[in-house]
Amino acid sequence: MSEGYGQDVWCGDRLRTGRLARGIEGLGLAAYRRQITPRGMLRGNQESLNYGIDLSHYVGSLGVDLAVAALPGIIRAELSKDDRIANVEVVVTSESLPGGLARIRIVETITGYDSADSYELTLGVSTDGVELIGSRVIST
């Protein structure tokens, strides 16, 4: 586990006070937060103003088909701003839900610098928001 990733309060599908995330898990959860935070919502310096993308906004703005095509590049570009992330593999597909609704399923494999492990995030995105379907450390 790399010490260079720091530690943070665990914040996946909900804030869990008293639980800390370290190493590649902390990096993966930071990537998740970056994707659910609308751009410009953080206060601070110029870097804070360029932090985040709101995935559900893209689905609402572009529609499912265009979002499936555009989101891999958008996600990679956003996550590459974090200098702890070496590589991100992104697979985006659409899913049909009951009642004729649709959502986008995003599977990301995040590799950090100075780590043999990767972190996998699986997200469900619709105009209603982002659902954290699953997350796990992949040990190599």
What global pTM score does this model have?
A: 0.85
The amino acid at 26: G
DSSP state of 38: P
DSSP state of 84: T
The amino acid at 104: I
Which residue, among 93, 107, 108, has the nearest Cα to 27 in the 3D structure? 108
Domain 3-138 belongs in CATH node 2.40.30: no
Helix (H) or strand (E) holding 11: strand 7-11
What pLDDT, on a 0 to 100 scale, did the predictor assign at position 140? 76
Mean pLDDT by 10 residues, the chain (140 residues): 60 63 84 90 77 90 93 96 94 91 94 89 92 90
Q: For residue range 45-72, list pLDDT tens digits in order.
A: 777 788 899 999 988 899 899 999 999 9
